[in-house]
A and B are shown apart, each in its own frame.
Chain A
Amino acid sequence: MGRSPAPVGATATLDATPGATIAEAAVAAQVRCALEAVFAAVADTRADTTALLTRVAGQGRRPATVDLAALRPGLHLRLTRQELVSGAGFVAAPGLLGDVPAWLEWWQQGSDGGVRPLLLDLDPAQSAYSDYTHWDWFALPRDTGQRAVAGPYVDYLCSDEYSLTLSAPVHVEGRFVGVAAADVYLRHFEGAVVPLLQRLPGASYLVNARGRVAASADPAHLAGSLTRGPDFAAVLAAARSTRHEDLRLVPCDGVPLVLVTPAD
């Protein structure tokens, strides 16, 4: 558990995070790498879905749930190969499919290591949870056209887990048709990034754009709590590290997380 002040496998470029120490820049880069691997899985799902829906459109018909079954081999592969990914799939925009009003082609890793589908009741007459379009993982990519990281949040719709969901919009012929996404359970994310945080000399943690702690090696700032004060969204937008009182804020360049660490 000893914290080594020595720089960690320095693959980071210093100019990406001016003001940060080499060690801090390296941690930010590795956090980014961990999430980029998940985004790569999301991009694969997105590519598969775009190709599939374009093919169906070429046949001059409306897609149906049976068509989405073609996504399964790829989804299963990503779920088993990608260590951080515990759920993966394509979430259709309501009205896209001909046979159902709404649909999640969603697969999850079971505790036994098996892969199983998520089956939701999406009938608004039966379920109070049938409308999923307001969740950040759906609304952010739809509204911005960009990929997004939602959470940390309690995912009571799909997994009942405290999670991050990484998602990207899917467009066919210029029209938004849904999102490709992958779930990362926070406990797994913590396993991947807290060892990195522990190598920094000061008690450090990661927050999202709203200041919610996503992973922490600082007992005073636990995952799920809010760090109030700094404007983390502005730090991410500026893409450069900055100082806030006695803290240094280092954006994980490319993913919407900020490394918070004591400034010396």
Chain B
Amino acid sequence: MKQHRGDGVRRAVFTPVDNRARVETVVHRIGDAIELGLLADGEQLPGEMELAGQLGVSTVTLREALMALRQQGLVTTRRGRGGGSFVSLPEVPGEERLLARLSSWSTEELRDLGDHWAALSGAAARLAAQRTEPDDLKALRRTLDDLASAEDAAARSRVYGRFHVELAAAAQSARLTREQVVLQTEVGALMCLVLGDNEYREEVADRHRSVISAVQDGAHDSARALAERCVQDSTARLITLRLSMPRTVSGPRPLEGTHGQEPRSGRRDGDA
């Protein structure tokens, strides 16, 4: 009888996952996919049952999430024959929507996101340095070049994310790669906010170049440190931006509110 040992831990394991957190997770996931252009304007989302199944949430949770996405103007729902939920990009400037998205993260959540990311990319860089031979670095070098030629922030953000996915693949780890892919769907939309700056793009390119060199030299400790520093610096920029935002209301992330207000009338010409 091991009734007492680990009782608390077991209780924690079997506590139902906070439903609110699930709704937010789904809103984030789908919202980020739309911001990143993974889901195109006008594209029909799978049916509620199917989508709920794919995301591993109940249909009730999914409906709440769709409601929140509708309020953000990212999804429209049509009833009747040929109906369903469709992706709709609101006509608010992308920058504004991205800032609204950033404001839904607390600095603590951003710090934690950065910790997770640094853990993944740092471990990947170390393993890659041990397991890489020159041909494996071709993909990373190509991505480095693509970053230099990526014009807009969204393209830069996609290429930045790809570098970290490829780093995990160079580590020969399917698990690290899968985790990095999922993480990048969260990080990608946010990184658009800081990668528009050309100077920072250059800095990122330099950091990526040094990671590649360390991996190539088999210098696993410094490969890890360099990858971690690259990620930590990106996270620090996001947190600085988050703290500079006028409305820094803390507390539970509102499902409606911050940017739910009439998204289609939000365009302001000459917006900075």
Contacts and interface: CB of A to CB of B under 8 A. Distances in A.
A134 interface: yes
Interface stretch (A50-58, A125-133, A247-255): A125-133
A236 B162 CA distance: 33
Given A121-B38, A128-B159, A134-B142, A226 B169 contact: no
A162 B38 contact: no
A211 B37 CA distance: 39
Interface stretch (A88-96, A110-118, A153-161): A153-161
Contacts of B181: 156, 160
A226 B38 contact: no
B144 interface: no
Contact of A226 (B131, B146, B174, B178): B131
Classify the interface of chain B: helix, strand, loop or mixed. Answer: helix
B161 interface: yes
B135 A134 contact: no
Contact of B174 (A128, A161, A211, A225): A161
Interface of A: 121, 123, 125-129, 134, 152-154, 156, 160-162, 210-212, 224-226
A226 B181 CA distance: 25
Contacts of A211: 133
Interface in B34-53: 37-38, 40
Contacts of A156: 165, 168-169, 177-178, 181
Interface string B14-48: 00000000000000000000000110100000000
B173 interface: yes
B218 to A, nearest CB: 10
Contacts, number: 57
Contacts of B224: none
8 contacts: A126-B37, A126-B38, A126-B40, A128-B158, A129-B162, A154-B177, A156-B178, A212-B133
B162 A153 contact: no
B172 A162 contact: yes
Contacts of A160: 174, 177-178, 181
Contact of B168 (A154, A224, A226): A154
Contacts of A125: 37
A134 B168 contact: no
A22 to B, nearest CB: 33
